[in-house]
């Protein structure tokens, strides 16, 4: 009889723990990236009343007889399934689609989280605004290169940081496709002595923009000469009448073949333009760059010259940033330049279910989770990074409310056993009356 009471007590106690876990799950139904918990029960070792026997002397074997001594809490497991993603539109909100964890730290210890509700503090640090922990990754050097073998650092978005001007070194005109009137084409029907004019913009060493007028003059059926002029700031008239040194003053022809393609013989199509420092009037170094028109064609049709790319730019300040699915943090500058300023890190674990909850949506490794395996997003199952989104809790309310009923009925059933056992003991006491 006493065994029944103690078994019922264990049932009540552990169903109360069951209800505690369910209640916590329901309370966190709207917690960002919360991972629900699951309770499992085990029976306690039973008391053997009669042992088992093997078949002998023509009789079959008999089974053991055991009386259970109640139940116990087997485990509380973390369910690490992916929660649904909710769009927020906020640039600093991140979510992981995969098994990875963001790495956050305070300079002495790192923690791991799926909560990507980050923000930028007054010093430009990318942080969790609730805990103040920095988001960890790798910081790019001045050229935009990232060394992922180096120790993790807190990422920064240093708004207002300026990048220096880059002088123009080369300009490239797009390739023209044969048989089409396309960019980078000089009209084969142009009369000898006819001209095609375009204006290009180059940047000096201080980032000042310099407009240059380039003239292509047809000298024979398949030959064109290149000359260039700029407006001398000392004149103040804005007229393109000051010559630009082209290849040291030598004649620089473009020689086309009968098929309309440029003769590939060097240095055809690679003129070097130079403007002396004194003619710039900005205090900058002399402006020297290669004007790459080696992909020009000569087909019948309208002439067109479009600049495809150039290396020069004015000075600029960081005004925004973007994070790609691979975790690259790209700075966007006021001069239109884009430069990688950091790389977000993600961590995985051999057994993520073995992680320890630290509160504030943080996790820490345990002896059964394994150490963090830190690397780049989109590698080794870490998953990709989504910006402007947050991961929701993975709590299934329908299942949790069902568990509420199961916990309540389990508790009630155990309490009825105690009530019945008490009545039986009372009847036993009353026998002597």
User: pLDDT by residue (tens digit) across 20-57?
Assistant: 999 999 999 999 999 999 999 998 888 888 888 888 88
Please give the pLDDT value at position 181.
29
* DSSP percent split of the chain into helix, strand, coil, nearest 5: 15, 35, 45
Alpha carbon distances (Å) from 10 to 210, 220, 424: 85, 104, 19
DSSP string, 157-220: --TT-EE--B---EEEPPPPPTTS--SSB--TTPPTT-EEEEEEEEE-TT--EEEEEEEEEEEE
What is the structure's pLDDT at 285?
84
Collapsing DSSP states into helix, strand and coil, what is residue 53?
A: strand
pLDDT classification of 205: cutoffs 50, 70, 90: confident
Is 385:94 a contact under the CB 8 Å cutoff? Answer: yes
The predicted pLDDT at position 176 comes to 37
Please choose, from the candidates 234, 161, 150, 219, the residue with its C-alpha nearest in 3D space to the C-alpha of residue 186: 219
pLDDT at position 429 over 60: yes
Mean pLDDT of 118-122: 93
Report pLDDT digits (tens) over 389-414: 999 999 999 999 999 999 999 999 98
Q: How confident is the model at residue 62 (pLDDT cuts 50, 70, 90)?
A: confident
The whole-chain average pLDDT of the chain stands at 86
Which regions of the chain carry the CATH code 2.60.98.20?
A: 170-310
Structure tokens at 332: 């966007």
- In this prediction, residue 345 has a pLDDT band, given cuts at 50, 70 and 90, of very high
Strand partners, 245: 274
Contact 96, 102 (CB under 8 A): yes
Residue 313's pLDDT is what? 65
Contacts of 425 (CB under 8 A, 6+ apart): 1
Q: Is 287 helix (H, G, I), strand (E, B) or coil?
A: strand
Q: How many helices (H) and strands (E) does the chain have?
A: 3, 32
Separation between Cα atoms, residue 433 and residue 289, nearest integer Å: 117
What integer pLDDT is reported at residue 180 of this predicted model?
23
* Nearest 10 degrees: Cα torsion 84, 87, 88, 91: 110
Q: Strand 346-348 relative to strand 373-375: parallel, antiparallel, unpaired?
A: antiparallel
pLDDT of residue 4: 82
pLDDT digit string, tens, across residues 131-151:
999 999 999 987 788 999 999
| Ramachandran angles phi, psi of 234, nearest 5° | -70, -30
List, in sequence order, every residue forming a beta bridge with 113; answer none if it has no partner: 102
Report whether pLDDT(292) > 50: yes
Query: What share of the chain in percent tops pLDDT 90?
Result: 43
Task: Give the model's pLDDT for residue 172.
Answer: 56
What's the pLDDT score for residue 182?
31
- Give the whole-angstrom CA distance, residue 188 versus residue 176: 14
Spatial distance between the Cα atoms of 380 and 94, rounded to a whole number of angstroms: 19
CATH topology for the 170-310 domain: Tick-borne Encephalitis virus Glycoprotein; domain 1 (2.60.98)
Q: Greater confidence, 425 or 115?
A: 115
The answer on pLDDT for 70 being more than 90 is: no
pLDDT of res. 251:
63
User: What number is the average pLDDT over the span 322-350?
Assistant: 88
Helix (H/G/I), strand (E/B), else coil: 59: strand
Res 248 pLDDT > 80: no
Sorting pLDDT into bands at 50, 70 and 90, what band is 312?
A: low
| Phi and psi torsions of 386, nearest 5° | -110, 135
The pLDDT of residue 409 is 94
Structure tokens at 361: 């949506």
Q: How far apart are CA 345 and CA 340, in angstroms?
A: 14
In sequence order, the β-bridge partners of residue 162 are 317
For the cut 80, the answer to whether the pLDDT of residue 2 exceeds it is no
The residues, any chain, with a CB within 8 Å of residue 311's CB and separated by 6 or more, are: 166, 168, 169, 170
Quick check: 305 pLDDT over 70? yes
The pTM score is 0.71
pLDDT confidence bin for 93, thresholds 50/70/90: very high
**The two three-digit tokens of residue 146, written as one number:** 């990232």
Instruction: Answer for the pair 310, 317: CB distance below 8 angstroms, yes or no.
Output: no
The pLDDT assigned to 178 comes to: 31
What is the pairing mode between strands 170-172 and 287-292?
parallel
Distance CA 427, CA 421 (A): 10
The single-letter DSSP state of residue 286 is P
* Residue 298 clears pLDDT 50, i.e. is over it: yes
**Closest by CA position to 137, among listed 163, 164, 100:** 100
When pLDDT is cut at 50, 70 and 90, the band that residue 433 belongs to is low
**Hey, what are 273's tokens?**
């333009």
Instruction: Specify the residue for token string 């996790």.
Output: 363
Q: What is the pLDDT of residues 139-192, one digit of tens each?
A: 998 778 899 999 999 999 887 766 555 655 555 555 433 322 234 789 999 999
**Which of 158 and 382 is assigned the larger pLDDT?**
382
């Amino acid at each position: 009889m006493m065994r029944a009471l103690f078994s019922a007590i264990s049932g009540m106690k552990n169903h109360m723990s069951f209800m505690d876990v369910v209640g916590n799950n329901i309370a966190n139904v709207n917690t960002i990236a919360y991972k629900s918990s699951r309770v499992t029960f085990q029976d306690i070792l039973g008391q053997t009343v009669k042992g088992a026997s093997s078949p002998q002397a023509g009789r079959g074997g008999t089974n053991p007889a055991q009386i259970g001594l109640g139940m116990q809490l087997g485990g509380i497991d973390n369910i690490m399934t992916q929660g649904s993603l909710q769009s927020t539109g906020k640039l600093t909100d991140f979510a992981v689609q995969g098994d990875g964890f963001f790495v956050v730290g305070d300079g002495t210890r790192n923690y791991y989280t799926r909560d990507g509700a980050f923000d930028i503090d007054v010093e430009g640090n990318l942080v969790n605004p609730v805990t103040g922990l920095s988001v960890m990754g790798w910081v790019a050097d001045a050229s935009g290169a990232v060394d992922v073998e180096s120790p993790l650092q807190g990422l920064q978005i240093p708004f207002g940081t300026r990048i220096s001007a880059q002088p123009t070194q080369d300009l490239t005109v797009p390739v023209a496709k044969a048989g089409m009137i396309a960019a980078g084409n000089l009209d084969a029907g142009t009369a000898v002595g006819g001209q095609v004019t375009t204006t290009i913009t180059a940047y000096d060493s201080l980032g000042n923009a310099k407009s240059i007028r380039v003239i292509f003059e047809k000298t024979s059926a398949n030959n064109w000469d290149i000359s260039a002029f700029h407006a001398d700031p000392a004149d103040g008239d804005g007229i393109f009448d000051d010559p630009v040194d082209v290849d040291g003053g030598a004649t620089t022809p473009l020689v086309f073949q009968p098929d309309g393609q440029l003769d590939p013989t060097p240095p055809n199509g690679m003129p070097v333009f130079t403007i002396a420092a004194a003619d710039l009037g900005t205090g900058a170094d002399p402006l020297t760059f290669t004007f790459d028109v080696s992909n020009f064609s000569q087909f019948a049709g309208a002439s067109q010259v479009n600049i495809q790319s150039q290396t020069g730019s004015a000075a600029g300040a960081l005004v925004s940033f973007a994070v790609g699915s691979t975790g690259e943090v790209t700075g966007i500058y006021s001069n239109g330049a884009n430069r990688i300023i950091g790389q977000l890190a993600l961590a995985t674990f051999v057994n993520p279910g073995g992680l320890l909850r630290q509160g504030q949506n943080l996790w820490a490794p345990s002896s059964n989770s394994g150490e963090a395996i830190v690397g780049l997003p989109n590698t080794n199952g870490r998953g990709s990074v989504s910006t402007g989104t947050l991961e929701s809790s993975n709590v299934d309310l329908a299942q949790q409310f069902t568990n509420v009923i199961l916990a309540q009925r389990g508790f009630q059933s155990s309490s009825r056993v105690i009530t019945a056992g008490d009545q039986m003991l009372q009847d036993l006491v009353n026998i002597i009356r």
